[in-house]
Amino acid sequence: MRRSAGLLLFRRADGGLQVLLGHLGGPFFARRDAGAWTLPKGEYGPGESAWAAARREFREELGLPPPDGAAVALGEVRQAGGKIVTAWAVEADLDPATIDPGTFRMEWPPRSGRFADFPELDRVAWFGLERAREVIVTAQAAFLDRLAEHSA
């Protein structure tokens, strides 16, 4: 079973809570908005803790060190493909213009024999919780609900 872990940054603004999400990079998501945004996360194996993986993946996907604030455990969700995602929320502010995303390499177009590098996350933005629910990967919406409950 594949497992991922990530950090969901949040901040308090005049309109309520906001969360930092990244738009999935690569050609498959280029023209999608709904269901194409995620918390910065990545896979890990049996030799690494979920917490360590969440912090490592934050650095790899955003090119910035993870914030040091208190972490709120948001539990796990199972995404449509079967992957289990574990998340923590951390209150912090981050300027999306400062990210330096990691990349991945894939054959594109398929079966062309040509390979290209694509950003893990092609853009990052702050969203209010209602708008975040409209764009986040469906299963990850549970993390938004759990954050809202914790912050009530």
Question: Cα dist. 3→42, 54, 83, 143 in Å?
Answer: 8, 11, 6, 16
Instruction: Tell me the C-alpha distance between 133 and 120, whole Å.
Output: 21
Return the bridge partners of 38, or none.
22
- What is the reported pLDDT for 130? 96
Q: What are phi and psi of 82, to 5 degrees?
A: 100, -10
- Digit-coded pLDDT (tens) for 39-62: 999 999 999 999 999 999 999 999
- Banded model confidence at residue 33, pLDDT cuts 50, 70, 90: confident
In 10 A of CB 13, how many CB atoms? 11
The model's pTM is 0.93
Instruction: Tell me the C-alpha distance between 117 and 105, whole Å.
Output: 4
- Banded model confidence at residue 19, pLDDT cuts 50, 70, 90: very high
- Digit-coded pLDDT (tens) for 62-120: 999 999 989 999 999 999 999 999 999 999 999 999 999 999 999 998 999 999 999 99
